[in-house]
Structure 1
Amino acid sequence: MTTPSSAAPAGPAAPAGPLCTRETITADLEALGVQSGETLLVHSSLSALGWVAGGPVAVVQALLAVLGSGGTLVVPALTGENSDPADWSNPPVVAEWWPVIRAAMPAYDPLITPTTGIGVIPETVRTWPGAVRSDHPQTSFAAIGPRAGEITRGHALDCRFGEHSPLARLEAAGARVLLLGAGFGTCTCFHLAEYRVPDPAAEDVSFAVTTPQGRRWLTVRDTVADSDCFELLGADFERDHPVRRGTVGAATTRLFDLEPAVAYAEQWLTAHGPRRNG
């Protein structure tokens, strides 16, 4: 004979804390050293922060509050699915579908093409009133603030992360990088260094774009972008250079200057054998 338990039935698990608000995130960013008026490239993970009242909107509001009216917020706004299906592996698609996908893929439109694979904070920035976005169909960046147009303008189709991309303009602007709960593996500024090593490897890159003649499936030649070693590269950079570390909510957060990070990455990749032609 069984005896009914007097314990109350288990309910849903409580959300993982800490509880974060726009105000607590703002205070944590200020304590870390984010400054009013600066240009800031942010890589982020909302889930790393804890439970955020207001979600990604509260995070973007906090970032903009700390940067102030003179500061510029920049995020990657990547759209990697606009690519050749022959290269897809997660998941792959059967070869018979490839020509259909190439013909049907919607052309990149900076106003409506959503970001994918990089979390909800960049998508929130992309759709923020006044945000502008660069023109690359795979590796665009979105920005809010007085330098947004300068940073995003002229993103060449054959230069995902190089001298004709927002990364080079961020370098020239003296930007800093904020890893907000994200690791060095997401640190796009290291890709700029890949373009500066001797004889970098190149590959064909395909996507759907809008041209004066209408939609077109275009293939260009560009430098290989490979972030597999970025966590190790970042650990060495952090060992050898000043990186401000702190927490925002529960998220481990790093803040550092972009220009020395790119210079260090160029030396590191050259010494450690990046992918090169031949």
Structure 2
Amino acid sequence: MPAPPPTGPLVTRDTIATQLRLLGVRTGEILLAHSSLSSLGWVNGGAVAVVQGLLDALGPEGTLVVPAQSGDLSDPAAWTNPPVPEEWWDRIRATMPGYDPLITPTRGVGVIPETVRTWPGALRSAHPQTSFAAVGPHAREITDGHAPDCRLGERSPLARLERLGARVLLLGAGYGACTSFHLAEYRIPSPLVQVGRPAPGGGWESVTEISITSDRFDELGHDFERDRDVVRGRVGAAQARLFPVADAVAYAERWLPLHRPRAEEI
């Protein structure tokens, strides 16, 4: 049975750039983009065209940043989707390839961030599980110095994005994907956890980290959008939202302690 024809809309590089400008994306700004390719419609050129459109809207002085997470470089004991047999765990830990910012693929963040990661001139931060990739004049300033024991806190690109006045673009993605909210978790009382992963020089290591979770981020985003200035519009078929990183972090710092008691504290 033949596949049904696409329903559209037909989206091109120029469509994306034009609609991003209409949304309010400014030439020369720093943009942290969370995205869903499938939400946009039928994109001529796929993820490449989306990245081209984003860079066109930002111009040569702008900087595009994306999450480049690789959460599969983690302890198999914690894997649930899917789990693996317990008798495999030690062998997996002993043989898992270490993080290499040049070749380790992204996981769970979509094809657009993976396209940015491999873009000419792209730089990627050093954290083996929660890195960011960036293209543009501020890329090195944003990605350098990502501490190996600070996934999304003060010594991560998120804090630099906040200081630089960056804005978040949710392009067909919901607030559950908004990594800026995690920076707030480092500024409120939060439990610590042990995080296992392959060590840089081979073998296995365990580091102490702040416990982070995106639980209830959708509710947090609903209230944030109700109470703060969030620019909303459409790019292709996708709903798009635009707001400052700093606003999201500040709001989450107040919201999380009131609305999301941590399981470890109950």
TM-score of the superposition, structure 1-length normalised?
0.93
Partner SS for 2:202? strand
Alignment check: 8 A CA contact 2:216 2:260 kept:
no
Counterpart CA distance in 1 for 2:260 and 2:32 is 27
Alignment check: 8 A CA contact 1:201 1:276 kept:
no
* Candidates 35, 38, 46, aligned match of 1:47: 38
2:26 is matched with which residue? 35
Alignment check: 8 A CA contact 1:200 1:276 kept:
no
Q: Does 1:209 align with 2:196?
A: no
Counterpart CA distance in 1 for 2:186 and 2:261 is 10
* Candidates 12, 15, 25, aligned match of 1:24: 15
Alignment check: 8 A CA contact 2:37 2:110 kept:
yes
Q: Does 1:172 align with 2:163?
A: yes
Alignment check: 8 A CA contact 2:93 2:203 kept:
no
String of CA shifts for 1:141-199, please: whole Å, max 9, x gaps.
000001000001111111100000000000000000000000000000000000111x2
1:234 is matched with which residue? 221
Write out aligned runs for 1:45-124 (5 A).
45-124=36-115
Partner SS for 1:232? helix
1:248 is matched with which residue? 235
Q: How many Å apart are 1:228 and its aligned residue? A: 1.4
Q: How many Å apart are 1:273 and its aligned residue? A: 3.6
Counterpart CA distance in 1 for 2:261 and 2:253 is 10
Unaligned runs of 5+ in 1: 1-9
Q: How many Å apart are 1:266 and its aligned residue? A: 0.5
Counterpart CA distance in 2 for 1:208 and 1:135 is 13
Write out aligned runs for 1:119-198 (5 A).
119-197=110-188
Unaligned runs of 5+ in 2: none
String of CA shifts for 1:6-42, please: whole Å, max 9, x gaps.
xxxx632001310000011111101000000000000
String of CA shifts for 1:111-150, please: whole Å, max 9, x gaps.
0000011110000000000000000010000000010000
1:221 is matched with which residue? 208
Alignment check: 8 A CA contact 1:82 1:108 kept:
yes
Counterpart CA distance in 2 for 1:209 and 1:42 is 29
Q: Name the aligned partner's letter for residue 103 of structure 1.
A: A
Q: Does 1:269 align with 2:263?
A: no
TM-score of the superposition, structure 2-length normalised?
0.97
String of CA shifts for 1:236-274, please: whole Å, max 9, x gaps.
000000000000000000000110110000000121244
Greater C-alpha Rg? 1
Q: Name the aligned partner's letter for residue 193 of structure 2.
A: E
Counterpart CA distance in 2 for 1:51 and 1:77 is 24
Q: Does 1:200 align with 2:187?
A: no
Q: How many Å apart are 1:276 and its aligned residue? A: 7.4
Partner SS for 2:131? strand
Note the aligned Cα RMSD (angstroms): 1.1
Q: Name the aligned partner's letter for residue 192 of structure 2.
A: A
Counterpart CA distance in 2 for 1:140 and 1:31 is 30
Q: Percent identity?
A: 64
Q: Name the aligned partner's letter for residue 73 of structure 2.
A: N
